[in-house]
Chains A and B, each alone.
Chain A
Amino acid sequence: MHEWALADAVVEAAAAALEGRDPSCLRGVTVLIGQLQAIDREIFSFALETIVSEKPFSKAVFHLETEIASFRCEACGTDWELGDARGLTAEQREAIHFLPESAHAFIRCPACGSPDYRVQKGRGVRISSLEVDDREGCV
């Protein structure tokens, strides 16, 4: 499951963000999960917990939030959401799951049919915030 690779990235990025502070300072990480990539939340969550259990900030808690995917057509200016992109096959959804940019091969602007659009929100996995202890040496 490639959710493990993304979970690994989140944990490594959280470690890097501590910038030399005591790792035990890290209490929580809020992760945005883009709707477009459609990762399996359960596998992702399990992967995060497993990977972090071997880190010096093993008690950190991961909060997962879903970000709705939205698009803007560069040709006609229409805004739309992923739910409007109907007719994707299971294989196409799987391709987008692995590589969200694949959407440009399969999804077109619902208003004008253009392939020239931007994913405004909800592409993939992002860290939105870290929660650190407020004790001395952590802040």
Chain B
Amino acid sequence: MTDPRPAVVAKRLSGLRRVIAFSSAKGGVGKTMCTVVSALALAQGGRRVGILDLDMQGASAHLFLGLTPRLPEEDHGILPLPVVDGVSLMSVAAFTGERALPLRGAEVSDAVLELLAVTMWGPAEFLLVDMPPGMGEEILDLSRLVPRLEALVVSTPAAVSVSVVERLLSVLKELRVPVPALIANMVQDDAGPVRKLARRNGVESVVEVPVDPFLESAIGNPVALASSRAGRAIAEALAGLGYLKGGGK
């Protein structure tokens, strides 16, 4: 018995310049915010961006974007939901809305594979993947199926976060997934622990995102998110990392 879906994943992603997994082994460190704000920043820079929310049990990218989930349109596959100019989203929430989706590991893998096999990303140049916390099926499947996958790893400067994220970095190294930068999120005054984490693990860059007391009120409003302190810091960092270099497609 052969599962045909893996045979077509690379073809589905072939039009993309970069596929970036926003990952962390720790929950609550701001992966979704970083994913969404990065997508908005890239779109403001003229890039076309798809967001794939792979947090099957806690999908929330649509909430950050103020998008009411609905079933996708079809055109030789399923089409991501348009969000704002240049940004589209595919999420399990498109199918289940705000209902709970309790899945075991093998079913998570099946869902990841299905979305990769049937979603048509159209003109997108970047695919930003909002990962669930941990190092389970989602990152293992992505690293196996997605050519040229890279990861931006998110941590707060808190000791617990740094410790857990270091474990993820070791796994990403074993999976040969390059990590161009760590994102030090919710920095109050010192990103030092994340900078040391980067040095210990050979990660070249650290993006500092300051704590933003107004961020909560920007959730659900893409314009406000993009212009928040966190949004501006990430946009500047993405430009510095070269993500906005080169022409569009």
Contacts and interface: CB of A to CB of B under 8 A. Distances in A.
Nearest to A32: B1
Contact of A105 (B6, B72, B100): B100
A53 interface: no
Contacts of B8: 5, 8-9, 12-13
A12 B101 contact: no
B236 interface: no
Contact of A2 (B74, B92, B102): B74
A126 B78 CA distance: 19
Given A105-B99, A116-B102, A9 B78 contact: no
Q: How large is the interface on A (under 10, 10 to 19, 20 to 34, 35 or more residues)?
A: 35 or more
A13 B101 contact: no
A106 interface: yes
Contacts of A118: 104
Contact of A123 (B2, B72, B110): B110
Interface in A75-105: 91, 94-96, 98-102, 104-105
A9 B117 contact: yes
A15 B108 CA distance: 27
A115 interface: yes
Contact of A13 (B2, B78, B108): B2
A6 B71 contact: no
B11 interface: yes
A9 B111 contact: no
Contacts of A119: 107
Contacts of A128: 1
Given A6-B118, A9-B4, A106-B99, A101 B107 contact: yes
A5 B100 contact: no
B101 A95 contact: no
B76 A4 contact: yes
Contact of A126 (B1, B76, B92, B115): B1
Interface of A: 1-2, 4-6, 8-10, 12-17, 32, 74, 91, 94-96, 98-102, 104-106, 115-116, 118-119, 123-128
Interface of B: 1-8, 11-12, 56, 71-72, 74, 76-78, 92, 94-96, 99-104, 107-108, 110-111, 114-115, 117-118, 120
